[in-house]
Chain A
Amino acid sequence: MTERTSEHEGWFDGLDRGDTEAARNAIESRAADMPREWPALAVESGFVASEAKYYDALGAATRGTARAAATERERADDQQLIHAVRAMDDADRTANELAERVAEWAGSRFEAAEPGIEGARTVAERDPREPADERLIDLAARVVALDEEAIRLRAFVERVAGDVAPNLAALAGPVLAARLIALAGGLKPLARKPSGTLQVLGAEEALFAHLRGQAPSPKHGIIYTHEYVRGTSREHRGSAARALAGKLTIAARVDYYSGDRRPELDDELDARIERIRARDERGGGESRS
Chain B
Amino acid sequence: MSDDNDGASRDSPPLPAGVTYRGFDGESRLATRGAPVYGEPSSGEWRLWDARRSKVGAMYEQGLDLRLAGDEKVLYLGAASGTTASHVADFSNAVYAVEFAARPTRDLVGVAEERPNLFPLLKDARQPETYGHVVEPVDAIVQDVATRGQARVARANRRFLRDNSKACSPICARATKSSIPGP
Which positions in A face B, CB cutoff 8 Å? 9-11, 26-27, 30-39, 55-56, 58-59, 62-63, 65-67, 69-71, 73-74, 163, 259
Known: A35-B160, A59-B116, A259-B106. A66 touches B133 (CB 8 A): no
Residues of B within 8 A of A67 (CB): 106, 109
| Binding-face segment, B5-13, B46-54, B59-67, B134-142 | B134-142
- Residues of the A chain whose Cβ atoms lie less than 8 Å from the Cβ of B160: 35
B interface residues, Cβ below 8 angstroms from A: 94, 102-103, 105-106, 108-109, 112-113, 116-122, 129-130, 132-138, 159-160
A67 to B108, CA, bound (A): 9
A55 with B116: in contact, given A35-B135, A74-B102 (CB under 8 Å)? yes
- Say yes or no: B159 contacts A63, CB within 8 Å: no
Cα distance, A10 to B132, chains bound together (Å):
8
Smallest CB gap from B132: residue in A: A32
Contact: B103 with A11, CB < 8 Å? no
Name B159's closest neighbour in chain A (CB-CB). Answer: A34
Q: Which residue of A34, A59, A71, A163 is within 8 Å of B112 (Cβ)?
A: A59
Contacts A/B (CB < 8 Å), 18 sampled: A30-B133, A32-B132, A33-B129, A34-B132, A35-B132, A35-B136, A35-B138, A39-B136, A55-B116, A58-B134, A62-B120, A62-B121, A69-B105, A69-B122, A71-B102, A73-B122, A74-B102, A259-B103
Known: A33-B132, A34-B132, A35-B137. A59 touches B103 (CB 8 A): no
Cα of A55 to Cα of B73 in the assembled complex, Å: 12
Residue in A33, A55, A56, A63 with the greatest tally of chain B CB atoms within 10 Å: A63
New A-B contacts (15) at CB < 8 Å, excluding given A34-B159, A55-B94, A59-B118: A10-B134, A27-B133, A27-B134, A31-B132, A32-B129, A32-B132, A35-B136, A35-B137, A38-B134, A38-B136, A58-B119, A62-B134, A66-B122, A70-B109, A71-B102
In whole angstroms, how far apart are the Cα atoms of A67 and B113 in the complex? Answer: 11
Chain B residues within 8 Å of A26, by CB: 133
What chain B residues lie within 8 Å of A65 (beta carbons)?
122
The dominant DSSP class at the B interface is mixed
B102 and A70 form a contact (CB under 8 A): yes
Chain A minimum-CB-distance residue to B93: A55
CA distance A59 to B115 in the complex (A): 9
Contacts A38-B136, A39-B136 hold; do A71 and B129 have CB atoms under 8 A apart?
Answer: no
The residue from B103, B120, B129, B137 contacting A66, defined by CB atoms under 8 A apart: B120
Q: Is the CB of B134 within 8 A of A66?
A: no
Residues of chain B contacted by A30 (CB below 8 angstroms): 133
* A55 and B117 form a contact (CB under 8 A): yes
Complex: A180 Cα to B4 Cα, angstroms: 55
User: With A35-B160, A74-B103 in contact, do A66 and B108 touch (Cβ < 8 Å)?
Assistant: yes
A74 CB to nearest chain B CB (Å): 5
CB-nearest residue of chain B relative to A10?
B133
What's the nearest-Cβ distance from chain A to residue B79, in Å? 10
Which chain A residues lie closer than 8 Å to B130 at the CB level? 31
Highest count of chain B CB atoms <10 Å: which of A32, A55, A69, A70: A70
Report chain B residues within 8 Å CB of A10. 133-134
Complex: A163 Cα to B136 Cα, angstroms: 33
User: In the complex, A33→B128 CA distance in Å?
Assistant: 7
B35 CB to nearest A CB, Å: 15
| Cα separation A58 to B136 with both chains bound (whole Å) | 11
| C-alpha spacing A9/B133, complex, angstroms | 7
Name the residue of chain A whose CB is nearest to the CB of B162.
A35
Q: Closest B-chain residue to A258, C-beta based? A: B106
Asked whether, in the complex, the Cβ of A70 is within 8 Å of the Cβ of B103, the reply is yes
